[in-house]
Amino acid sequence: MYALIYDERDPAQPMKKVISVHKSRQTAETALEKRKKELGRRVWECNTRIVWVDGRVKADEFLNPASFRTWRPGENIPWGNLYSDTD
C-alpha cells in the first residue's frame, strides 16, 4: 500500500509519521496535491512524500526507514527519477 509520510529529512528523527494511506499511487498523488494546496506550499516545502509500505499501516502511526521504499517492487519508475539531481 502507498502512504503519505511526513519527512523532514532529519537523521536525528528516523521515525516517519504516516499522514494517510492509499491503495494506488494515483490516489496518493491526488492526496499530496490536496495537501500542497491546503498548506499553500510546494512539494519540498510540505516535508511530505509518497512511499510504498509492504505491511499494513494506519494514519498517525510511525514507520522506521527499513519498513518503506520510495517505489513499489516492479513499479514503472518515471524516467529521470532514478537518481538524485544533486552531486
pLDDT digits (tens, 9 = 90+) for 57-86: 999 999 999 999 998 988 888 776 555 555
Residue 59 placed within a domain: yes
Angle at 15 between CA 21 and CA 41, to 5 degrees: 60
Residue 76 placed within a domain: no
CA 79 remoteness from chain centre? 18
Q: What pTM was estimated for this model as a whole?
A: 0.82
| Enclosing domain of residue 41 | 2-7+19-69
Residue 87 placed within a domain: no
Could you give the C-alpha distances from 31 to 26, 41, 73, 86, in angstroms and in order? 9, 14, 22, 27
Residue 24 placed within a domain: yes
Residue 61 placed within a domain: yes
pLDDT digits (tens, 9 = 90+) for 23-41: 999 999 999 999 999 999 9
